Structure 1
């Protein structure tokens, strides 16, 4: 009996696996998570990653530079995916990737580097994690097939969300801050050095980046080192890898483009520094001081979408709905993937009794991050206000299912839901 049970389990596992081609080894392999589903999951978490890192840097030229640099390196990777590259506003010195080929470079990282080959080395390293399927393997190991397909189903709007939304934020937080093992880092180093070199960049740029991080570590450890440990043995292994390459051929060390982009970031850095000081003041409940700092930040850089969003939040919390909503709308227009300003705009329009405009922004916010309970509550209020009671009821139900019970609107949502359903 036990033998039959074991055989059944093995058979089920085999059926649940998909056969795919491993471009690194050239062999056929079986995987629980097919590439198509891996991409869907990665894409699902892009807005969460953007929101957690204060939005995308609001300059098309900067974004285009990161995109072109990333694509140039990605051309030399064996996994042929539709890679996407983003520069996000956070000052943290870091870069990271999501499953399926979504690569994030932090503003703080670019500001800490001196040459283009250093940035190329970091991007190549993140591409290596994707090509080695490190994120996908983490998901396969920690979560079962059902939950992974449910996440992908949320993105494809093929499920009714179900209980998977309860785990959405937890999974996203893990993906954004994955800590790699020594073997995974060794593999990513090996591949990353190769990718950068094949793309024409001096692979020693990665070693120069390591040196910069080591110097910074004496003051404050860069966030990249928290997720990418850097023992001396790893540095020695990278040096050994590079020694095997022909370093006499023409290799790109730097470019005017890198310095033009970095100069743009340096000019707007004072604005973002003021934004982070404002966040600190707000955490201490000093709203007036925070507003003064944000006003200075926006004088320096009017398109600072992180500052616009935080100022909108403060104004809305002070019942200044018209001005707060206008700022949120501007921030949302600067970054269509940034959740917070979309939610704030929706909330502001609700307070202004412009329910259809509120619905537009809240529905978009729901698409971006589908597990935020307040979005559903205010959508319920909007739909109820325009007489669409069945939609109102569905949103109240979802809000009550997702809430932690500390939002302040739970009793009102329950009362309104009972009235709609007639009990």
Structure 2
């Protein structure tokens, strides 16, 4: 028993990487090296995009947020390849993934009044990344298991096992982490510092807090669910800001922020109609009414990739496969990181018996979100139709391993697999 304990301790010591923490200036040990932290973050970017209805389809909006974020990131000690994304959802939130992937919801920008408020939120999310809060969560929750399975996670295209089964569960945790008071205090401290050093008025984050608190009386902003905001926190941030020299030149409110916000306001009616159409389809099962609403949404804003994807979904339900594929392909072209339209295009092409085209889109869908079982079932059908038996077998096996048993195709997949294996 003593030998086992010693061996376990030795394994932990070997696994811990000695590293320099640029935030504190101290040497520290980590189970999760920075390179692997970044890979995990990259792996969950498409899932975050999918869960938030795709990326906002306007290059100017994306570039503005990226440039603003990069300007602040220059003043952070972790020199990562930061990426910033604006996503379509109207939920008032911003969040980060491990390794420097920052997401800003369309609804958050619409809720703010000035650029320094937005800068304060971005600085706060960058502070979570620089304090390695996501990485520390992974280390605490998964520890040695995480280390042992990392290679399999990163090779998920060919190796599955239990790791792929955990893909969605881990993603759900990363996308809805609720920070502790200590973590929020640390993120506030460094967020104020980063925004101030980048030339933004740090009082912008205080103004944002009050905007959120005012909204909280009607409907709690999503940001408050993951970033608790007690009055003591506001007092602490005010104290931090009082210690800064606010007489130094700070950036004035940017006309570009208002230009970008105005662009979002112009497309808001389209997204509001999309949201209503989604409710009609999913909750109320009213297909005709959903289609009418989504047609209006697309007419108002033809680049609304969320609405285009929903129309493709409705048309697939109506078995209008040629028309469905047209809308799915357009949405996929607008956002090549959006899983939903790629899957819909692949499924539509399968129903049209255009198997090579189906494989193209389903393979892309699989690379974006690797644990969706339907993708593998229809890939199996495609490959079987083309006579590629080995690939058909592999995909049926993966589909059956990943399914929850409630997809509707399980019995067919088993029969096909048994026949192909010669049982």
Give TM class, smaller chain. over 0.9
Offset at 1:419? 1.0
1:179 maps to which residue? 178
Q: For residues 391 and 153 of structure 2, what CA distance do their matches in structure 1 show? A: 18
Tell me the TM-score normalized by structure 2: 0.98
Q: Does 1:196 align with 2:195?
A: yes
* Structure 2 SS opposite 1:239: helix
Tell me the TM-score normalized by structure 1: 0.98
2:421 maps to which residue? 421
2:133 maps to which residue? 134
* Structure 2 SS opposite 1:201: coil
Shift >4 Å, 4+ stretches: 156-159
Q: For residues 37 and 156 of structure 1, what CA distance do their matches in structure 2 show? A: 13
Offset at 1:40? 0.3
Q: Does 1:256 align with 2:255?
A: yes
Q: Deviations over 1:251-274 (max 9, x none)?
A: 124101101100000000000000
Offset at 1:156? 4.7
1:412 maps to which residue? 412
* Structure 1 SS opposite 2:116: helix
* Structure 2 SS opposite 1:25: coil
1:105 maps to which residue? 104
Q: Does 1:386 align with 2:382?
A: no
Q: For residues 318 and 77 of structure 2, what CA distance do their matches in structure 1 show? A: 53
**Structure 1: stretches of 5+ with no match in the other structure:** none
Going from structure 1 to structure 2, the CA distance change for 1:422 and 1:147 (only over 3 Å counts) comes to: farther
Greater CA deviation, 293-302 or 152-161?
152-161
Going from structure 1 to structure 2, the CA distance change for 1:125 and 1:407 (only over 3 Å counts) comes to: same
Q: For residues 122 and 155 of structure 2, what CA distance do their matches in structure 1 show? A: 29
Q: For residues 133 and 203 of structure 2, what CA distance do their matches in structure 1 show? A: 24
Q: For residues 125 and 49 of structure 1, what CA distance do their matches in structure 2 show? A: 19
2:321 maps to which residue? 321
What is the correspondence of 1:140-179 to structure 2 with a 5 Å cutoff?
A: 140-148=139-147, 150-151=149-150, 153-156=152-155, 160-179=159-178
Offset at 1:159? 5.2
What is the correspondence of 1:111-130 to structure 2 with a 5 Å cutoff?
A: 111-130=110-129
* Structure 2 SS opposite 1:144: helix
* Structure 2 SS opposite 1:143: helix
Contact conserved, 2:80 with 2:100, CA < 8 A, in 1? yes
Q: For residues 153 and 265 of structure 1, what CA distance do their matches in structure 2 show? A: 41
1:55 maps to which residue? 54
Number of aligned residues: 422
Going from structure 1 to structure 2, the CA distance change for 1:291 and 1:149 (only over 3 Å counts) comes to: farther
Contact conserved, 2:157 with 2:370, CA < 8 A, in 1? no
Contact conserved, 2:31 with 2:147, CA < 8 A, in 1? no
2:38 maps to which residue? 39
* Structure 1 SS opposite 2:288: helix
1:347 maps to which residue? 347
Q: For residues 151 and 16 of structure 1, what CA distance do their matches in structure 2 show? A: 12
Offset at 1:39? 0.3
Q: Does 1:8 align with 2:11?
A: no
2:81 maps to which residue? 82
**Structure 2: stretches of 5+ with no match in the other structure:** none
2:66 maps to which residue? 67
Q: For residues 145 and 332 of structure 2, what CA distance do their matches in structure 1 show? A: 34
Q: Deviations over 1:294-315 (max 9, x none)?
A: 0110110011000000110010
* Structure 1 SS opposite 2:24: coil
Q: Deviations over 1:262-299 (max 9, x none)?
A: 00000000000001111111121001111110011011
